[in-house]
Structure 1
Amino acid sequence: MLTSKQRAFLRGMANGMDAIFQVGKNGVTPELRDTVYNALEARELVKISVLDNNMLGAREAAEMLASRTGAEVVQVIGNKFVLYRAAKKPVIELPQAKK
């Protein structure tokens, strides 16, 4: 579970990123899930856009992909969303949570 400080840190990192995947009219397919899973393992942070011809909203698509890939939804704005999942060999160092 991400803290608000960690979420803000990740939002800042994602701000300059371009969307690398699109959820199209077929929705969240197994192929899309697999490619997003692999991208999360390599990058840890991905931005995805939802096309207008999709029956899902951005929030629904984000929640669905997050649950299927073991990721967390960082942000949903308009038709784009950001997912984060720590890799086996972490690349991004998150701010520490207070204890």
Structure 2
Amino acid sequence: MSPSYGTEELWHLTHGMRRLCLAEYARDAQTIQDLTGEVATMRRHLDSVDDQLHAHDLHLRRGRDVWLVPLPPGGGARTRQRRSGLRTRGGSSGPSQ
């Protein structure tokens, strides 16, 4: 048996390798598309849960002074930032003299 391949044999080998690569690429692309769809579904579910938790939190606080403010478009409960801590006027944070 000769250690070299003929032109036709090389063509068939490379054609077979190209077909295998394309099949694997198509499978990977389909997997990525499936996972992207699942991520979008999970994101919608989490936003819904955030909204439910926010509504439940407001329900628990009923009777206290609670102001409802509209959320920004596309924003859920996770996008709000809460401020806490001491707020002072002026530029100095040290004791006044």
Please say whether Structure 1 and Structure 2 have the same fold, judged by a TM-score greater than 0.5: no
Name the TM tier (shorter chain): under 0.3
Higher strand share: 1
TM-score after normalising by structure 1: 0.21
TM-score after normalising by structure 2: 0.21
Higher Cα radius of gyration: 2
Structure with bigger RCO (C-alpha 8 Å, 6+ apart): 1
